Amino acid sequence: MRVAVLFGGASEERDVSAASASKVIEALRERRHDVVAVDLSRGRLGPADERELFASRIDRLPPGRAAATDLADIAARSGLNEVDIVFLALHGGSGENGTIQSLLDLAGIAYTGSGRLGSALAWDKDVAKRMMRAAGVPTPDWLMSPAAADAVEAAIGYPLIVKPNGQGSTVGLTLVESARELERATELAARFDAEVMFERYIPGRELTVSILEGKALAVGEILPGAGPLFDYTAKYTAGAAEEIFPADLSAARTERIQALGLDVHRALKLDDYSRVDFRMDEEGRFWCLEANTLPGLSPGSLLPQAATASGIEFPELCERLCAAALGRRRTRTDD
């Protein structure tokens, strides 16, 4: 297969994307596919740029914003039309919210993962939670901005989570213990999205269900280490969080959370793969926080770990994502 691995872009998750891309490229080349790397901000990479990509690592804090994307220009200069598949190693922003998916649909270029609608539904946490509720999947109570502090307190109470509606990697998110801290947390979240969500805090365990080709993989548990939240530093600092696959759950609970994960994947109209994040409270109830349509794809990322625990090694995973995209090619470009 001829594959262009698209990564980078201007989102807060650019570093995470480069980390995924370098591993995906390596795996697909190992399987003898013809692979080029295309940075959404810079176009097709030459050998020297590629070496830099492979050597790069995720910093403790997210990077500043890079130049915006000019896909038409990049597609023309990078030969995206000449490959069979665009592998989306993007995370966050226009790579994950349906924008790139729409542009690729318009250009008639096949790509991995969910389509434009599913991507947009999952990216908008407020809309995604409404879909979860409609599908009977429990999700913590929430309120959207603008909301008066009294209304937030009455509807949700403390402690609560304040987060940008569209963002990933726990950027701009705060655990707020009292009314005093609400304004500052709201201002922080508003830096990343005009819409801010106030959500009931669910103490307990952090679990994740990865979906591949319509089936749930091994459930994972994340022990964030330093704090109660799985924050950016915990996510991307080696050894900062402990991740356990399969999670230590009873068979009945495992089945239940996997079924909920699949329900969310279907309710949001996602394709091929996704990772659905949950909290489990002290009574053992599951609460869905969000679905990730383009979760991290380094071998050590959560979804690849779930795949490995379910008997699917990383190169095979990458190849299966390409094959699924190729199989769907006709349906997306015909509409």
Ligand X SMILES: Nc1ncnc2c1ncn2[C@@H]1O[C@H](COP(=O)(O)OP(=O)(O)O)[C@@H](O)[C@H]1O
Which has the closest alpha carbon to 276: 99, 139, 92, 100? 139
Contacts of 35 by beta carbon, 8 Å cutoff, 6+ apart: 3, 4, 5, 25, 28, 29
Residue 15 binding Mg ion, by CB under 5 A: no
CB of 161 to ligand X, least distance (A): 4
How many Cα atoms within 13 Å fall on the side-chain side of residue 70? 7
Q: Which of residues 91-150 bind ligand X (CB under 6 A)?
A: 140
CB of 208 to Mg ion, least distance (A): 8
Selected binder of Mg ion within 124, 193, 206, 277 (CB under 5 A): 277
CB of 85 to ligand X, least distance (A): 26
**Is 296 marked active-site?**
yes
161 contact, one of Mg ion, ligand X, none, CB 5-8 Å limit per kind: ligand X
**Is 290 marked active-site?**
yes
Residue 170 binding ligand X, by CB under 6 A: yes
Which region among 148-156, 201-209, 241-249, 318-326 touches ligand X (by CB under 6 A)? 201-209
Which region among 4-12, 83-91, 116-124, 271-279 touches Mg ion (by CB under 5 A)? 271-279
Which has the closest alpha carbon to 169: 225, 106, 249, 231? 231
**Is 250 marked active-site?**
no
Selected binder of ligand X within 8, 168, 220, 296 (CB under 6 A): 168
Q: Return the number of the residue (124 or 290) whose C-beta is nearest ligand X.
A: 290
Q: Contact letters (x/-) for ligand X, 212-231, by CB under 6 A?
A: -----------------xx-
Please state, in angstroms and rounded to a whole number, the distance separating the CA atoms of residues 181 and 144.
17
**Is 15 marked active-site?**
no
Residue 279 binding ligand X, by CB under 6 A: yes
* Active-site hit among 78, 116, 296, 298: 296
173 contact, one of Mg ion, ligand X, none, CB 5-8 Å limit per kind: ligand X
DSSP secondary structure letters along 75-133:
HHHHTGGGSSEEEE---SHHHHSSHHHHHHHHHT--BSS--HHHHHHHHSHHHHHHHHH
CB of 42 to Mg ion, least distance (A): 27
Pairing of strands 174-176, 196-200: unpaired
Which region among 59-67, 76-84, 164-172, 308-316 touches ligand X (by CB under 6 A)? 164-172
Which has the closest alpha carbon to 207: 215, 216, 195? 216
188 contact, one of Mg ion, ligand X, none, CB 5-8 Å limit per kind: none
- What do you get for the CA distance between the two ends of the chain, in Å? 24
> Do the Cβ atoms of 211 and 220 come closer than 8 Å?
no
Torsion 300-308-286-204 (CA) sign: negative
Question: How many binding residues for ligand X (CB under 6 A)?
Answer: 19
**Is 169 marked active-site?**
yes
Q: Return the number of the residue (276 or 321) whose C-beta is nearest Mg ion.
A: 276
Locus of tokens 């190849």 = 319
**Is 271 marked active-site?**
no
* Active-site hit among 292, 298, 301, 319: 292
Is it true that the peptide bond before 295 is cis, omega within 30 degrees of 0? Answer: no
The continuous run of DSSP H or E covering 19 comes out as: helix 14-30
DSSP secondary structure letters along 247-258:
-S--HHHHHHHH
Active-site amino acid positions: 13, 169, 236, 275, 277, 290, 292, 296
Chain residues binding ligand X by CB under 6 A are 140, 161, 163, 167-170, 173, 199-202, 206, 229-230, 277, 279, 289-290
Chain residues binding Mg ion by CB under 5 A are 277
